[in-house]
Amino acid sequence: MTLKQLTSTDLAYIAGFVDGDGCINAQIVRRPDYVLGFQIRLSITLFQKTARHWFLLHMQKQIGYGTVRKRPDGVSEYALVGATSVKNLLGVLLPFLRLKKRQALLVLEVIDTLSKSQDPQAFLKLCEMVDTIADLNDSKKRILRASVVRSELGLDSESIPCRD
């Protein structure tokens, strides 16, 4: 199965499920081997009690991307990680998303900009978009915010407001 074979009712169903219980996300993660020391991790994740693991496998089969794993806490996770799979799925889901459309648009914008530029100032702008996505997702986990990237890339002075 490929995404192009999915009908509009399949896509609407998946969009409804993602809006209900999925997560469209971008996160700043430390990557000492990267030029700037940080990476932006893009993902779409669906959750389900491991008792209904079959359902996530069924979704994975339909979507054709991503991996399903059983977490030790009894919840299974189906995750698509990385620009290519996230961009492809969001591209087809976008017309059907209602609740998480803003996250989807921001993630797509981050992906398109990431591929173009990696200078510190441009990267920081992307990190600020990542902050917005985290806020839209009511993220409560301890996460890296753009302010950390700003400070560690030595871009702090840029944020001092002008004084007359």
Binding site for a copy of itself (CB under 8 A): 8-22, 46, 48-49, 51-52, 55, 58, 96, 98-99, 138
Backbone φ and ψ of 35, nearest 5°: -50, -50
Which three-class secondary structure string do you get for 36-65?
CCEEEEEEEEEEEEHHHHHHHHHHHHHHCC
CB of 48 to a copy of itself, least distance (A): 8
Helices (H), the chain: 8-21, 53-63, 83-93, 101-114, 120-136, 146-152
Residue 19 or 152 with smaller CB distance to a copy of itself: 19
Residue 29 or 51 with smaller CB distance to a copy of itself: 51
Residue 20 annotated among the catalytic residues of the structure = yes
Catalytic residue selected from 19, 21, 135, 138: 21
Which uninterrupted H or E stretch holds 75? Answer: strand 75-81
Residue 13 or 83 with smaller CB distance to a copy of itself: 13
Residue 21 annotated among the catalytic residues of the structure = yes
CB of 12 to a copy of itself, least distance (A): 4
Q: Which residues are catalytic?
A: 20-21
